[in-house]
Amino acid sequence: MNRRTIVVANWKMNGNLNLVEEMSKRLNQVQLDESVDVIVCPSFPYLATMATKLTHKNVYLGAQNMNAQTKGAFTGEISTTMLQEFAVKYVILGHSERRSIYQETSVEIAQKVSAALNSGITPILCIGESADQRTAEQTETILAAQLQPVIDEIGIEKFNEVVIAYEPVWAIGTGKTASPEMAQATHQYIRQFLSANNTEIADKVPLLYGGSVNAQNCEALFAQPDIDGGLLGGASLKVDEFSQICSTVKGS
């Protein structure tokens, strides 16, 4: 199965108008393998400006979060309807920082995934285990517990329109990357888990790896058969490094 390769930039609460300007200028000129897509997810205040600047046909705009409701008395929240006005095509949901700092549950995340799909925005669903959970050999149980509520909410067929990012929490922003073999083994498990519900869908879902990916380690990680690209935090804030990663990534 030929899946598209996807590189996602998660700026988190970083960046400024200057970075919007510099990154979009560079990405508009980047040479991408024809089966590679790049998704840039700046903070909300920068979406509108970024939307006017990105011109590359395979570089898309994404948000870092959203509310599952379409409108109403939810001070400080952002709806899919608002995101759509700024050409946002993707949204990161269930990032480990949302799960741990803001106590988002897998059920709430599943509701957001459903709301994103209903409005035509592709969810990038993040899942991953903590260091303690990996040491206790609970990785597969944790990943299954994060995936099942989403399957229950949207049905397995809808995973046709979902991107999954496996991000071991211990590797995010720590410089400790999972080895390509370890990441591949976990991705293989995720695909098998989905496959138990629907083999065809499992084969099609893009599975990204996230956790201290950089220009040095990306090729070995992305070369693994079940790794279809990456979700990058720190490296996505560096114009030279991020554009280099995007242009060296090969499609499957």
* From 97, 104, 129, 167, active-site residue: 167
Q: How far apart are CA 99 and CA 20, in angstroms?
A: 27
Report CA-CA distances (Å) from 67 to 16, 23, 61, 82, 91. Answer: 23, 27, 18, 10, 11
| Residue type for position 174 | T
Q: How far apart are CA 213 and CA 172, in angstroms?
A: 9
Q: Is 56 a catalytic residue?
A: no
Q: Is 95 a catalytic residue?
A: yes
> Is the Cα dihedral 81, 83, 88, 92 positive or negative?
negative
> What pairs with residue 41 in β-bridges?
10
Half-sphere exposure of 7 (CA within 13 A, CB side): 29
Contacts to ligand PEP by CB under 6 A: 10, 12, 95, 167, 172-173, 210-213, 231-235
| Residue type for position 25 | K
Longest dimension (CA), the chain: 47
Tokens of 71: 């409108």
Look-up: residue for tokens 């608002």? 82
Find all residues with CB under 8 Å of 171, minimum gap 6, and list them: 177, 178, 210, 211, 212
Q: How far apart are CA 117 and CA 143, in angstroms?
A: 21
Kindly give the interhelix angle for 180-195 and 139-154, rounded to the nearest 10 degrees.
40
**For ligand PEP, the closer CB: 156 or 228:** 228
Least spacing, CB of residue 144 vs ligand PEP, in Å: 21
Least spacing, CB of residue 202 vs ligand PEP, in Å: 23
* From 95, 97, 129, 187, active-site residue: 95
Annotated catalytic residues are 95, 167
